[in-house]
Structure 1
Amino acid sequence: MTDTDLPRLNIAVLLPCYNEGKSIASVVIGFRKALPSARIYVYDNNSSDDTSSQAAFAGATVVPSRRQGKGNVVRQMFADIEADVYIMADGDGTYDPSAAPRMIDTLLADRADMVVGTRRNVTEDAGRNGHAFGNRLFNKIYRALFGSEFTDIFSGYRAFTRRFAKSFPASSPGFEIETEMSVHASSLRLPVSEIEFDYGRRVEGSESKLSTFRDGFRILRMMGMLMKETKPFVFFSAVSAVLFGTATLLSLPILVEYFETGLVSRMPTWMLAMTLTLGAMMSFTAGVILDSLARSRIEQKRIHYLSIAPARGEGGIGGRMQRTEDDPATYLQDLSRKTGT
């Protein structure tokens, strides 16, 4: 694909950054070369180095983002920017800007709402052994909980339609945002695609902002929260099974003693077992009720998603350049002008 192949496609490149002064200029220049007509935005998340000046010097529009955390920045970017197609990448130089046209090609050809640029060999060498292990572990957990649509849920290199960007709630504050994007697509069963590319290394002197244990815990907590919100029956049934299993283990010796002697010598343990059994029943009931509410929420999200024009190049921003016949009021106005009535 060349840039002239899509004259009506409005593309925005979004780069959330925190202290990426050593690499951001080359990243911006790379995207300007790969997508000459795209608008490039660098959202500076309270950097203490020269990220903003380097990005502006390279030709990007720099926007301050005061609320700390990548998820907060992404929420602001999607709210601020209007475009047909959004390309999101990191400012650390690990993602290849020359792959962006291929991602847009895939987005249009597959009529997808999100294309994820999966990182080749990222689970074998992610800069640190802890990161590599975490990638393998969390991708397996994701596939077990939410589905097998994705092989690299942590990739920050993604292409979106306007429909996805404007329907995505983005509640995560930090690095969990990519996981939330994936769950959003899986729960609404949106069309998604993946393409693989080489994963680069940071420039010398640049440090990763990802903490293996702290952010790993946050991601795991986010997965649990999203599981509770999107699949409450499965979540609360699992809780119910754990409580009931524990109650059974505690009560079996007491029941055996009762049938043999007619006595209950460990009354506190029996009371604890009964309390856990009641908790298991309540948890299961909550799962049944909340499952109906979750289905209703997903239906509402789906309706909102469908109310947004897809704008995969059919028109300008938000589909405003689409055929006038698709808008009855505009069509009647044009018809009146043509007929002189």
Structure 2
Amino acid sequence: MRISVLLPCHNEEHTIGHVVRDFQEALPTATVYVYDNASTDRTAERAQAAGAVVRREPRLGKGTVVCRMFADIDADVYVMADGDGTYDASAAPGMVRLLVHEVLDMVVGCRAPASDGGAAYPRGHVFGNRLFNRLLKVLFGGVFADVFSGYRVLSRRFVKSFPVRFTGFEIETELTTHTVDIGLPYAEVMTDYRARDLQSKRKLRTVRDGVRIMWAAVMLFKEMRPMRFFTLIAATLTTIAVLLGAVVVRVFLTTGLVLRLPTAVLSAAIQIVAFICLTAGIILDSVTRSRREARRLVYLALSPVQRPGDATRDEASDGGGTGNRANPSGPDAVPLRRSHHP
């Protein structure tokens, strides 16, 4: 079983060497890839000195790097984390074992402040995470404890069927909504989250990136749930049209005259737009269903992660040997939450 550790980095020269060595120790059979995202420091040199395979992506943006990594790397299991040293590499073997043994497509490492990580969470990030966790549940129906966690273990068929749309920190939201949209099995586990190194600068800006992520969530809602999206717009417009038209109707019933013709015309025009939105929602819902089925077929065309017992039986039936397969050591991860299979 081929395991690849993917570490997107931008100016992480002070931490990347330790992160690479930690993952090499935790997953000795894995290949660690560091994607240098237009760094202006010695991130690439220090990652290479630590034993990582270094590749460069000059187009700035985490979503851009993830798109490049997913396209370039071919493996059975992908471990994705950040290069800032905040994630606990020792949790990776348990997350990999959980993904393999339960035949999941994604295991999310939910962040819990470590004993030395009291300052790991800025207040704005805590509020934003809770807000988006609830927003995701309302918009898409998925239940996640940590939407923005960058620590994830993914299957090959998840990675190779995932269409990347956004270029920035919206990528975690997109990974989550893709999982919910086509009904992929996933689990969440608690992992330690350490405070960022004092020499490592935080890349996420609370307000600016929060607005971008909110906009991305709305756009994803429009694309994945067009019937709900346009029905909400149609209902809002209908309410406005009824409120405006009620005044005109009341005067007409009293006097028999249409004394507010502009208001009547405006009310009728708004209601026509509401009907158009509803029609658009019905049409786009059919298109979305077709696209969802196409993505599902691409996903199903790829083989799932093979459990060790299944591999042994297959090799025995083929008359082969035991082969060279990775067997991550360490305790099993205890799932915080499991999804329901579609």
Q: Which category of TM-score, normalised to the shorter sequence, fits these structures? A: 0.7 to 0.9
Deviates more, 1:27-36 or 1:265-274: 265-274
Name the CA distance, whole Å, in 2 between partners of 1:155 and 1:224: 20
The reply to whether residue 131 of structure 1 matches residue 131 of structure 2 is no
Tell whether the 8 Å contact from 1:126 to 1:132 is kept in structure 2 after alignment. Answer: no
Indicate whether 1:143 and 2:137 are aligned.
yes
Q: Which residue of 2 aligns with 1:109?
A: 101
Name the CA distance, whole Å, in 2 between partners of 1:313 and 1:80.
Answer: 25
Match of 1:177 in 2: 171
Q: CA deviation at 1:313?
A: 5.3
Taking structure 2 as the reference length, the TM-score comes to 0.87
Give per-residue Cα distances to partners, 1:154-208, cap 9 Å, x unaligned: 0000001111110001111110111111111101111101101121110012121
Offset from partner CA, 1:296-335 (integer Å, 9 cap, x none) = 11111111101112233569xxx9xx76989xxxxxxxxx
The CA deviation string for residues 1-58 of structure 1, in whole angstroms up to 9 with x for no partner, is xxxxxxxx11000000111111111111100110111100000110111111111111
Amino acid in structure 1 at the alignment position of 2:302: I
Instruction: Name the count of aligned residue pairs.
Output: 312
**2:276 aligned residue:** 282
Q: Gaps spanning 5+ residues in structure 2: where?
A: 319-342
In 2: Cα distance, 1:286 partner to 1:314 partner: 48
The ranges of structure 1 where at least 4 consecutive aligned residues each deviate by more than 3 angstroms after the TM superposition are 311-315, 322-326
Where 1:273 maps in the other structure, the secondary structure is helix
Higher RCO (CA-CA < 8 Å; seq separation 6+): 2
Q: Retained in 2: the 8 A contact 1:125–1:132?
A: no
The CA RMSD over aligned residues, in Å, is: 2.0
Q: Name the aligned partner's letter for residue 19 of structure 1.
A: N
Task: State the distance in 2 between where 1:193 and 1:267 align.
Answer: 59
Q: Give the deviation of 1:267 after TM superposition.
A: 2.2
Checking the alignment, whether the CA contact within 8 Å between 1:84 and 1:313 is kept in structure 2 is no
1:220 is the counterpart of 2:214? yes
Distance in 2, Cα, partners of 1:34 & 1:155: 20
Distance 2:213 2:57 in 1: 22
How high is the TM-score relative to the length of structure 1? 0.87
Distance 1:297 1:314, change over 3 A: farther
Is 1:291 equivalent to 2:276 in the alignment?
no
Letter in 1 for 2:203: K
Amino acid at match of 2:111: R
Who is 2:41 aligned against?
49
2:186 aligns with: 192
Q: Is the 8 A contact 2:101 2:307 kept in 1?
A: no
Deviation at 1:225, TM superposition (A): 1.2
**2:284 is the counterpart of 1:300:** no
Q: Does 1:265 align with 2:265?
A: no
The 2-side partners of 1:24 and 1:258 are apart by: 74
Q: CA deviation at 1:118?
A: 0.6
Match runs of 1:1-341 below 5 Å: 9-120=1-112, 127-312=121-306
* Compared CA separation, residues 43 and 243, structure 1 to 2 (3 A): same
